[in-house]
């Protein structure tokens, strides 16, 4: 019952009409990490201080990783040998604490650190193809292997992990 109360309504309210495009900031890079947006012909190497926006495809090479400040309260560390897409990166200019972040993990691991509970209307999700990890203010690692198997390891807090095939949380 306590977990159910903490989870609350598992259907997240999304305020897409009001939320505006946002940018993340690269806090640190180890090794080689590249990004490419639709329409780009070449991959751009990411460096500390660079900005990232939604619809960016990120790849990390072997023994490489990158930490991106997605919002004021959420950082994502994308680990080595990963391929991911930042599907959504938006904030609400009227309510600074309300944001939408969605990372589509194609292969590899993403460590997410959400510093406090998300405000009503906010969402932070990591999609792995077969499941979605939705955050309730926590630290967790999402993973997906090349065969499509996926999972989540929760270090602190609560993560709602939804199986796309069964709909079970």
* pLDDT tens-place values along the chain, 169 residues long: 444 444 444 444 443 446 788 899 999 999 999 999 988 999 999 999 999 999 999 999 999 999 999 887 789 999 999 899 999 888 876 766 667 888 998 889 999 888 766 666 678 888 887 778 776 567 888 888 888 888 888 888 888 888 778 888 8
**What are the two backbone dihedrals, phi and then psi, of residue 101, each rounded to the nearest 5 degrees?**
-135, 130
Q: Which of 26, 31, 137 is nearest to 79 (CA)?
A: 31
- Entry pTM: 0.77
**d(C-alpha 118, C-alpha 124), whole Å:** 8
């Amino acid at each position: 019952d306590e977990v159910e109360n903490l989870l609350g309504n598992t259907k997240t309210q999304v305020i897409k009409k009001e939320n505006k495009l946002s940018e993340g900031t690269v806090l640190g890079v180890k090794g080689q990490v590249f990004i490419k947006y639709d329409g780009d012909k070449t991959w751009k190497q990411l460096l500390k201080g660079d900005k990232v926006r939604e619809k960016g495809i990120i790849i990390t090479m072997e023994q490489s990783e990158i930490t991106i400040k997605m919002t004021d309260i959420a950082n994502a560390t994308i680990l080595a040998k990963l391929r991911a897409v930042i599907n959504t990166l938006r904030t609400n200019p009227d309510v600074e604490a309300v944001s939408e972040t969605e990372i589509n993990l194609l292969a590899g691991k993403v460590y997410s650190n959400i510093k406090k509970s998300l405000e009503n209307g906010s969402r932070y999700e990591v999609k792995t193809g077969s499941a979605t990890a939705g955050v309730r203010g926590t630290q967790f690692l999402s993973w997906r292997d090349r065969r499509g198997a996926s999972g989540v390891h929760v270090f602190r807090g609560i993560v709602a992990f939804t199986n796309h095939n069964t709909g079970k949380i």
